[in-house]
Structure 1
Amino acid sequence: MRLKFPPAPQSNAAEELRAEVRAFLAEELAGVSALIKARSWNGFDAAFSRKVGERGWIGMTWPKRYGGHERRNSERYVVLEEMLSAGAPVAAHWIADRQSGPLLLKFGTEEQKQTVLPRIAAGEGFACIGMSEPDAGSDLASIRTRAELIDGGFRINGTKLWTTLAHHAHYMVLFCRTSGTPADRHNGTSQLLIDLSAPGITIRPIVDLAGEHHFNEVHFEDVQVPDTALIGTMGQGWHQVMSELAYERSGPERYLSSMALLVELIRALGSSPAREARIAIGRLSAHLLVLRHMSRSVAWMLEKGEDAALHATIVKDLGALFEQEIPDVARRLVSAEPDDPATQSFCTVLAYTVANVPAFSLRGGTREILRGIIARGLGLR
C-alpha cells in the first residue's frame, strides 16, 4: 500500500499573517533567554495567551458564534509554526486550541460549545487531556477510571496520570469507562467534560527529570458531574478519542520541540563551520523541510474533513526521531564548556533538551504503539 501526503496549497493570506505574527513575537520575546524559548510548548504564560487570544489567533478556524474567527487551517498552522519556531510560551492555550476545542466542535453539545469555546478562543480557558492511567502503560483501551450512571449524571472514581498542565487547567476531557470492564477493550468507553474545580478532584504534581512540573496525577473520588458533561455518544469514547489523536499527533509541535537547540547549534558553529558541520546541518534542514511538508499535508487533509489518522501517526513517529537526533548531533559538533560566555547559551539549552528528549517518543503515543498502528494501517499486520 502506498501512502501519499498531498501538498498543502499556498495562501497569500497565510504569508501576510506570518509577517504579522513575526512582528508580534519579536516585540513579545525581546530579551527572553534561549532557555526560556527552549520550553516553548511547555512554557506556561497566561498573560501571553490572553494577548494571543486578543489577536484572534486561538480558535482561528472555529465558527464566529463560538468565539472563533472562521479562518483557514493554513493560517492557523502559520501561527503555531511561528510561535514554536520562535520559542513562544504557548502551553496555557495550545492543548485546548489544538485538541479539546475541535473535539467539542465535532461531538460536543450546543451548551458545551457555547460555554467553553469562547473562553478558549479568548485565551482564558485552559484544558487538559485525561487519557493515561497508572499500570496501563500505552494500552489506552485498558482504562479503569469509571463514570457510574446516577440520577441526573455520573459519579466518577479513578486516577489519570501524566496529565499535562492539569494544575493550571479549567477543564479536562476525561476518557473513562461507563459500562463493562477493561476486558471489553474499546466497548463501553465515553468522554466527559470535567470542571476541574469540582469537589473530589485531587491534583498531585509529577516533577520530571529536568526538575520541572508539567505532569500531574489527577485522582477522582466520588466526583459527581451532571449528565450534560457527556461529550458525544455514550459508549463511543474510543471512536471519538481516535479522531482526536489526529490533531494531537500531526502539528508542528511534533518536530519543533528541539528547535531552540538547533538555532543555538548553528550560532555556536559560527559563520565558517567545518565540512562535517555543514553536512550535518544540511541533513537536519532537509529532514525538517520534509517533516514540515508532511505536517502541513495532514493539516490540509483535516481541513477537508479527510481521515488523516495514519498520516498523523507517521508524522509523530518521524518527528520524534528528528527531535531526539538534534542533541546527539549538537554534542558531536560542538566542544563547549558551560562557563565559556561564547557557548554558555548553547550549553544551557543543550542540557535542558537532553533532560527532556526521552519524553519526545512517549508523549502522544509511544514509538512501539505508533509503529503498530502504522503497520496495521499499511496492511502489514
Structure 2
Amino acid sequence: MRGDARLVPQVARISDDERALRAEVREFLAEKRAAGRFEPTVDSWLSGWDEDFSRELAARGWLGMTIPVEYGGRGRSFGERFAVVEELLAAGAPVAAHWIADRQIAPSLLAYGTEEQKQAYLPRIAAGEGYWGIGMSEPNSGSDLASVRTRAERVDGGWRVSGNKVWTSGAHHAHAFIVLARSAPVDPEHRHAGLSQFIVEFAQEGVDVRPIVSMNGSHHFNEVFLDNVFVPDDRAFGEIGSGWKQVTSELGYERSGPERLLSTFPLLAELAESARTGHVEADADLGCLVARIAGLHQMSMAVSGALERHEPADVAAAVVKVLGTTTEGDIADYADLRVGDDVDDRTLTALTARAVDQRPGFTLRGGTNEVLRGVIARGLGLR
C-alpha cells in the first residue's frame, strides 16, 4: 500500500550529530549500569521514578532539549531529542520523574502558555526539577474526553474547579498537572465546545491525591479529587473554550513517542541475547518482533519530524500508538510462552514477569486501541 501522508509523514534522515549523540548516551548508560546505578526494567518511563537520575540527565543537557535557550532549555532539534529518549527507553533507564513534563507539558507550554507561565515552569522542567502529571481521564468516561464532568466555574479573579481525574501517573510525587474541565454547559450539537484547561498544583488546598495500587503491589497511578480548587486567571491554560483543540495537539506528543513501542524493548533485547547464547531457542517469531520494532522506529521518528514542522500528525500518532502497544504486548506474550522456570537467566525471568504484569495496560493508556481505530478511520474519511 502506498503511504497515505496522514499515516506516514515524511521520514526524517538521521544526521551524523544524532549518531554521535546516541553513542554518547549509550556510553553514559553503560557506565551507570556497570556502577549499579540502575537495572533495566519494563515500563521505565512510567514507573522508574528517580529524581537524581533526572537531574543527572539535565546536567548533561538531555532534558528540555527542544525548549528554547531563553527558557532554560537547549534549543536542539526534535531529532536529537528523539535519539536521546529512544536510547534511554531501550536501556530501561529510570526516567519517569521527568517524562511527562519533558514529553508533552513543555511543548504544550510553548504552544499555549503565557509568557509568565513559560518563565515559571519551563526552566524547572529543563533542569530536571519540575515534575508533572496529566489531568484528562475521568472515571466512567473511558477514552471519551468530551464527556468529562470536572467543572470550572467563573469566580472573581479566576475559576473554581471541582471533579476528579484518574490514572494520573506520578501525582503523588509531581508538582502540578494540566486539568481538562468543562467551563460552559454541554452543547449536544457541539460536544467538544466549552472545554478549557487549567494549571493546578498538587499542593493546593482542595486537591486530594489517592493511590491506585496495581495487583502486583506497584504504585504509580493515582486518582485525584478536586474540591472547589481555586485557579487564578494567570493559571488558566491557553484560551478558555479551546481545551479540545489543545488536548488533541497534546495527545500527538503522548501517543507518538518511542515509549509506545519500547516499553518492553529491554525484554526483547534480553531475549535476543539469550537466543544468541542458547538460553532460549531462536525462531522466526523473534525475528518478526525485531522487524516490527524496526519499522515502528521509522514511523515514530517520522511523526516526531512532523511535529517539529508543525504539521498535522494526530492520525499518524494514533497509528503508531495502536501498532506500537500491540507489538509491546506481543513481546510480553512471546516471552511468557518461552521463558519458563528452567531458564537460568534471572534478568530475563524478571523482565518477563514485569512485562506480563504490565501487559493489560499497554493498549489502554493514551487512549484505548479500540477508540483510536475509530480516530484513524475518521481521519481517513472512512466513517
CA contact (8 A) 1:132 1:140 kept: yes
Structure 1 residues 182, 124: CA separation in 2 closer, same or farther (over 3 Å shift)? farther
CA contact (8 A) 1:34 1:260 kept: no
The equivalent position to 2:306 in structure 1, one of 291, 296, 301, is 301
- Report the alpha carbon displacement of residue 32 of structure 1 after superposing the two structures with TM: 4.5
Q: Distance in 2 between matches of 1:324 and 1:28?
A: 28
CA contact (8 A) 1:142 1:182 kept: no
SS at match of 1:306: coil
Which residue matches 1:197? 203
Q: Distance in 1 between matches of 2:83 and 2:216?
A: 30
Q: Distance in 1 between matches of 2:37 and 2:50?
A: 15
- 1:14 aligns to 2:15 (yes or no): no
Identify the range of structure 1 (196-205 vs 277-286) with the bigger mean alpha-carbon deviation. Answer: 277-286
Q: Distance in 1 between matches of 2:351 and 2:38?
A: 7
Q: What whole-Å deviation, never above 9, does each CA across 1:122-166 have from its counterpart, x for those lacking one?
A: 000001010011111121110010111100011111000111111
> Which amino acid in the other structure matches residue 4 of structure 2?
L
- Report the alpha carbon displacement of residue 35 of structure 1 after superposing the two structures with TM: 6.2
Identical amino acids, percent of aligned pairs: 50
- 1:96 aligns to 2:71 (yes or no): no
CA contact (8 A) 2:339 2:349 kept: no
The equivalent position to 2:86 in structure 1, one of 81, 85, 99, is 81
Structure 1, unmatched stretches of 5+, are: none
CA contact (8 A) 1:166 1:203 kept: yes
> Which amino acid in the other structure matches residue 319 of structure 2?
I
- 1:289 aligns to 2:290 (yes or no): no
Identify the range of structure 1 (117-126 vs 50-59) with the bigger mean alpha-carbon deviation. Answer: 50-59
Which residue matches 1:122? 127
Q: What whole-Å deviation, never above 9, does each CA across 1:210-246 have from its counterpart, x for those lacking one?
A: 2111100100111112111111110000000001111
> Which amino acid in the other structure matches residue 90 of structure 2?
S
The equivalent position to 1:361 in structure 2, one of 352, 360, 363, is 363
CA contact (8 A) 2:41 2:351 kept: no
Structure 1 residues 296, 304: CA separation in 2 closer, same or farther (over 3 Å shift)? same
Which residue matches 1:375? 377
Q: What whole-Å deviation, never above 9, does each CA across 1:336-372 have from its counterpart, x for those lacking one?
A: 34xx6x2332222111110101100000000111000
Identify the range of structure 1 (37-46 vs 155-164) with the bigger mean alpha-carbon deviation. Answer: 37-46
Q: Distance in 1 between matches of 2:208 and 2:38?
A: 34
CA contact (8 A) 2:157 2:232 kept: yes
CA contact (8 A) 1:250 1:315 kept: yes
Q: Distance in 1 between matches of 2:227 and 2:151?
A: 10
CA contact (8 A) 1:35 1:352 kept: no
- Report the alpha carbon displacement of residue 39 of structure 1 after superposing the two structures with TM: 4.0
CA contact (8 A) 2:62 2:81 kept: yes
Which residue matches 2:235? 229
Q: Distance in 2 between matches of 1:213 and 1:99?
A: 22
Structure 2, unmatched stretches of 5+, are: none
Describe how 1:31-180 pairs up with structure 2 within 5 A: 32=36, 36-41=40-45, 42-180=47-185
Describe how 1:224-373 pairs up with structure 2 within 5 A: 224-272=230-278, 277-337=282-342, 342-373=344-375
> Which amino acid in the other structure matches residue 230 of structure 1?
A
Q: What whole-Å deviation, never above 9, does each CA across 1:178-213 have from its counterpart, x for those lacking one?
A: 111385521110011112211110000001132111
- 1:215 aligns to 2:249 (yes or no): no
TM-score if structure 1 supplies the norm length?
Answer: 0.95
SS at match of 1:38: coil
RMSD: 1.8
Identify the range of structure 1 (19-28 vs 252-261) with the bigger mean alpha-carbon deviation. Answer: 19-28
Q: What whole-Å deviation, never above 9, does each CA across 1:56-92 have from its counterpart, x for those lacking one?
A: 1111111111111111111000000000001110100
